[in-house]
Each structure stands twice: as structure tokens, then as C-alpha cells.
Amino acid sequence: MKICKNIRSLKIDLNKIQKNKCLSLIPTMGYLHLGHLSLIKKAKKRKEFTVVSIFINPKQFGPEEDLDKYPVNIKHDIEKLTKLKVDLLFIPKKKEIFDYKISSYRYKPLKIENILCGINRPNYFPGVADIIIRLFSIINPDKSYFGEKDFQQYFFVKTLLKKLGFKSKVISSKTIREKSGLAMSSRNQYLSIKEIKIANKLYKFLKLNKKEINDKKNISKSLAKYKNELLNAGFTKIDYLEVRTDDLRKANINSNNKRLFAAVFINETRLIDNIRV
Amino acid sequence: MKICKNIRSLKIDLNKIQKNKCLSLIPTMGYLHLGHLSLIKKAKKRKEFTVVSIFINPKQFGPEEDLDKYPVNIKHDIEKLTKLKVDLLFIPKKKEIFDYKISSYRYKPLKIENILCGINRPNYFPGVADIIIRLFSIINPDKSYFGEKDFQQYFFVKTLLKKLGFKSKVISSKTIREKSGLAMSSRNQYLSIKEIKIANKLYKFLKLNKKEINDKKNISKSLAKYKNELLNAGFTKIDYLEVRTDDLRKANINSNNKRLFAAVFINETRLIDNIRV
């Protein structure tokens, strides 16, 4: 696996790829888990030139969030990626990324920045947009892969890149879970044994209420009840629990392609998940 | 173990300590290894109220250095510190530390900023001074513990705090090593198996040449020869290899308390070590 730590060496390597080879990007913040690895395996299976980026984007974190303690273990990441025969790993420095001039693309809000994971986090999706535009300008992949755990992020990136005229096809992949059903996340490592037991209840809870949500006329009443149940189950705060369509519009009983989205806290750790209902 | 994530909660807790209890600080950048733990054990054995801080100080890193990939694993750190019954762990956010007003202490260069680990890194020791003054202003410990691997840093901090009139006694503790002799360091985790084999040679090399350095009239000639030997042994760059006294003055054959200081690269990983000669 080739490792590029600056844009110049990356571009030299990308120029060497065969013209008809599909270039795929899996952007990550490192501390890779099986969710990331499943995206990579997908690209490798399709014989694509597979680029993984590791970049902890400071702009995605709020002032009260966990940037300072976000886990980092580049060595283990490199070991995992080498095993999967990833073609190229891009680990740029923050300074070089934010100094990079992106003249041709200008982000305008997509109007989904303030719902779900954007509630109370006004900088989150603009921060995602900033780094995505930079990475995709630099790498210009044919395809990119995102996990469905961060469904809103996948949809946001897809919409953003389409609107700005990038060629990249944005592909989503199903959430990879622990045996207990807990969605894999780098943040799970913050959880104590006691907290994991609570976290394990989230997916089970979403599945349990799937049917009722699909059948009920008044979803909001059920949601209020569910929030209480989550708090009783040990979650310390509910950031949101909402039913929306696949394109993130508010859902009612007649909507197709509905999803139940949840963001909950266990003490200071924030967990998200979602399922199709 | 109490965990404080902001200055306010820290100060409330520090105010509760018995008046005659010795307050000790072990400042770290996390990703704790046995070197850190030996400092902590020392304080705990002496029944001191033991505070550990975890703070990755961005000002200590140059633009070409490894801030972005410095390893982080707060969860494992907390597990280790809990086992040692550390009294208080302080994990502040960068913003709060650098917003903290330190009106009464002003750092003036100590004239050891540009030697050894300061060569070509003009921001390193001013960066150390900045964070040390902030942490010691906030915590005001009676004692603090530093490992001898970073001997220059220990001496710099000791001199700085004394000059600024801090009460804290700065204590050094012998370098903790792997069985092979390799000095423990968070950065060792960057090394591949092949690179570790090279790294293991550094301490053996320092010990081997100890006697010759003590006896020789012209040390500089020997040092030039040693540098070549290190390069032949697989180290890719020698940052410095110098003999200095315990107060970091240039040593000659008549000097007492000499130390042999080395900083070497294996590819992109920089390792330091030193021994008394």
C-alpha cells in the first residue's frame, strides 16, 4: 500500500493510474472499524483503485465536542488497510488541506443542515461540506463509499457533490453492527462496560417499534412515548428521534421509504443509528 | 478517580484537598506507557494527591511534525489511571487552556531553547513553556514528575518554573525501557517490526560508547565516528549526538556529570534517548 502524506505525492501517484480504472475514495477520520473495512472491501471486490483518506476534520466538531479526545491510532489503521490491500492511503496534514485553494466550487446550504444531526450544531454540515469539497477536488474519485449509520451525512454528501457538478458516484452501504446490534462507531470505544449494555438497547429498540411506526396514523405521539422509554432504558439524553423519508423530508403514514432516525446520549457519548421502517 | 474536563470543576475539586496534603502533577500528552505510569506510581507511593493531565499541546509540534497523527486513546488511558488509583485526571479542551488568562507569569527565553531538541525547532521549547505556565498556574502543584528520556525538557521546565517563582518541586525519574533497552515512548507505536529492530540498537549503542567518551580527550572526533555507525546501523538521520553536562553546557574531558544525548530518525519517526556517561 502506498502512503501519501501530502497532496503533491498523492497527485503524482494518482496520475499513474490506468485511464480506464475506476478510482474510488473512502473518506474516514481513522480509528477504523469493521464498518469502514466493509466499505473498502466493496471497492476492492469491484477491482477499483481504492483510496482511503484519514483526516480528522476539526470543522465538524463543536466547541463542546470531543475533537481533543477523538481516538487516533494510525499504526493500527495502516495494518488493517495493508491487509485489505488498499491501493493508496492519504493522510494529509490539517494545514495543507485548509491551505488548499478551491476556487471553482462554492458551497451553498442545501437546507438539510439544520435537521437531525444538525440540530444545535450549526457548524457540523458546513464543516462536512468544506472537507468534502477539498478532498474531492484533490482526489476527484469516480466513486465514493459511505456507511448508512451516518445516513444524513451520506445524503448530504451525495446532494452536495451532485449540485456542485462533481462526477463522483456516492454509494451507501449498510450499517455494520456488533453481534448485539450496536452500530459500529469509533466513538463506541468511549463506552464503559456498563454503558455498552445501555447502548446495545438502541438498535433492538428501533427494530421493536418499526411495525408500530409503519401502521400508526399519529407518529408523533408514538415518538414521544418512545423517547420516554429510551430515557427509562438508561440513555441520558435524546438528541432526536424522528421519522423521515429517504430524502430526509418529514414523513407521514402515506410516505414511502421511511426511516426512523435516532441520536442519543449515554452520559457524554453521543450515539446515532437509523433503520428503514 | 475523579475526571475533570474543565478548569472550573478542577478548581472545585482541588479546593477540597486537605491543606497539608502534597499536591503532585504528572503532565502528559496521553497514550500512556510504563514510563508515565512509573512517575505516577512514585507520587502515589509517597501518598501525594496525584493529578495527571492529558493534553496534546499543539504548540510543541512544528508544521512538518506529527500532531495530526499523534496517538490518542483516552479510554485506555482512563483504565490505566483508574487501576493506579490516580486521584484526579484533568483532560481540558484546547480552547479553554489557551483562553486562560495568565497575567502574572511572562516567559523569557532561558538560552537552552536552541540546542539539542530545539535545533531547527524554534517553536518547541517556547511551546513547552506556554503550556507548562498555563498548567502550573491552573493547578499550582507542590511537586511535578518528569521522565529522564526527555532530559532537556525536564531541565527546561525545572529552570523555567524556578525563574518564574513557582513553588513546584520538579522531580526527574529514570527512563523506563523495554527489555531490549528501547526507551518507552508513545511514538514507538509508529515503528514497524523492521524499524523496531533498528530502534533497539540505540540504547545498546549509547551504553557501548560510554566508556570511550569518558576517557577520550577529543570527544568530537568520536562523535563523528559514532554518527556514521548509527547511519550504518539503519538509522536514517541523526538529528544530534552530543555530550553535555547535566545543566546542558558543552562538556569536555574535565566536566563532571556528563550525559550523551541522541536524537535519531528511523524514516519519519524521531526517537530520543540519553544516558549518563
Are residues B76 and B200 part of one domain?
no
Give strand pairing partners of B258: B245
Are residues B65 and B104 part of one domain?
yes
Domain of B103, CATH number, reads 3.40.50.620
- Whether A178 is in a domain gets the answer no
Residue span of the structural domain in which A57 resides: 2-173
- Whether A181 is in a domain gets the answer no
- Whether A113 is in a domain gets the answer yes
Are residues A165 and A35 part of one domain?
yes
Are residues B38 and B121 part of one domain?
yes
User: Of B173, B199, B234, at which residue does a domain stop?
Assistant: B173
Q: What is the CA radius of gyration of chain B?
A: 19
pTM of the model: 0.87
Domain count, chain A: 2
pLDDT for res A213: 86
Are residues A226 and A167 part of one domain?
no
- Whether B181 is in a domain gets the answer no
ipTM value: 0.77
* Mean pLDDT of all residues in A92-112: 91
Are residues A262 and A153 part of one domain?
no
Contacts with B69 from chain A: Cβ below 8 Å = 72, 74, 91
- Whether A180 is in a domain gets the answer no
Are residues A63 and A103 part of one domain?
yes
Q: What is the DSSP string of A211-243?
A: HHHHH-S-HHHHHHHHHHHHHHTT-SEEEEEEE
User: Of A173, A204, A223, at which residue does a domain stop?
Assistant: A173
Are residues B98 and B147 part of one domain?
yes
pLDDT in tens, B87-126: 999 999 999 999 999 877 889 999 999 999 999 899 999 9
Are residues B206 and B72 part of one domain?
no
Does the beta-carbon distance from A63 to B93 stay under 8 Å?
Answer: yes
Q: How many CB pairs under 8 A join A and B?
A: 46
Based on the residue annotation, tell me whether A33 is a catalytic residue of this protein.
no
pLDDT in tens, A104-160: 788 999 999 999 999 989 999 999 999 999 999 999 999 999 999 999 999 999 999
Judge contact between A202 and A227, C-beta under 8 A: no
For the record, the C-alpha cell of B211 comes out as 566508556
Domain of B212, CATH number, reads 3.30.1300.10
User: In this prediction, what percent of chain B has a pLDDT beyond 70?
Assistant: 100
Are residues A122 and A25 part of one domain?
yes
Decide the pairing of beta strands A258-266 and B23-28.
Answer: unpaired
* Mean pLDDT of all residues in B43-58: 97
| The dihedral formed by the CA atoms of A191, A195, A196 and A202, expressed in degrees to the nearest 10 | -120
User: Of A173, A207, A225, at which residue does a domain stop?
Assistant: A173
* Mean pLDDT of all residues in B37-49: 98
- pLDDT band for A5, please (50, 70, 90 cuts): very high
In chain B, the residue whose alpha carbon lies closest to the alpha carbon of A78 is B190
Are residues B163 and B203 part of one domain?
no
Q: Above 90 in pLDDT, residue A81? A: yes
The helix (run of H) or strand (run of E) holding residue A76 is helix A74-83
- Whether B179 is in a domain gets the answer no
A75 shares contact with chain B (CB less than 8 Å): yes
Are residues A168 and A85 part of one domain?
yes
Does the beta-carbon distance from B74 to A71 stay under 8 Å?
Answer: yes
